[in-house]
Amino acid sequence: MSRSLFDAFGSAFGSSGSGASPRAVEEISRNATEVSGAQLREFCLQRPWTSLEAYTDCFEYTFFRALSIFIIICASINKVPQLIKIWRSGSVRGLSRTAAYAELIAFFNTTAYARHLKLGLSIYGETIVITTQNLMVVLAIYWYDRKIALHEKMLVIGTFLLYAALLLADKVLTIQHWHCVSLSVIFLNTLAQGG
């Protein structure tokens, strides 16, 4: 079992303040994906910054964490104007169902793939938010467009749920399957958008 980043920092920047050896910096980089934010934050606040590496690691972590949170916040308002316009007008005239379906599938695919790779939520959080908003757009289309037959709604919802179950069952797809799914989604999304 590899050591945590906090342990690596502790050994790299010991009380001697002599700075980090290249080997220690390499270990810090290798273990960076395994550290919790609390460990690095604790290191940044409690240890004297005796070298440029310690300063840049703390600064980079803080900057990219803040940027990730900012992106997620911005993504949370992505579809809000469209949803408000739908709600106020009580109409979805001009919206393409096919494009809404394709966008929902594309963002869900990105979310599921990032989850499969076990990336941090701060890396793909905006795709979760946008996927949820796309689902709300599809549901608004179903609510306001009474011409859509019930069997189409059930077929689309059922197919999406099966697709979601397949993608979220981590052990089912290999990396080659993920590449095939991603390429298929890109191709179908291009067709749906009229490109």
Domain boundaries, the chain: 5-73, 79-192
pLDDT higher for 19 or 49? 49
Rounded to the nearest integer, the mean pLDDT of the chain is: 76
CA distances from 161 to 93, 105, 150, 158 (A): 26, 11, 16, 5
Residue 179: band (very low, low, confident or very high) from pLDDT cuts 50, 70, 90: confident
Residue 191: band (very low, low, confident or very high) from pLDDT cuts 50, 70, 90: confident
Question: For the chain, what is the total number of helices (H) and then of strands (E)?
Answer: 9, 0
User: Average of pLDDT values for 66-95?
Assistant: 88
Is the pTM of the predicted complex or chain greater than 0.85?
A: no
pLDDT at 1: 34
pLDDT at 42: 64
Backbone angles phi and psi of 151, in degrees to 5: -65, -35
Q: Minimal CA–CA distance to 83: which of 36, 129, 22, 148?
A: 129
**Structure tokens that stand for 173 in this block:** 């797809």
Ranked by mean pLDDT, the top range of 17-26, 46-55, 58-67, 173-182 is: 173-182
Q: Is the pLDDT of residue 32 over 60?
A: no
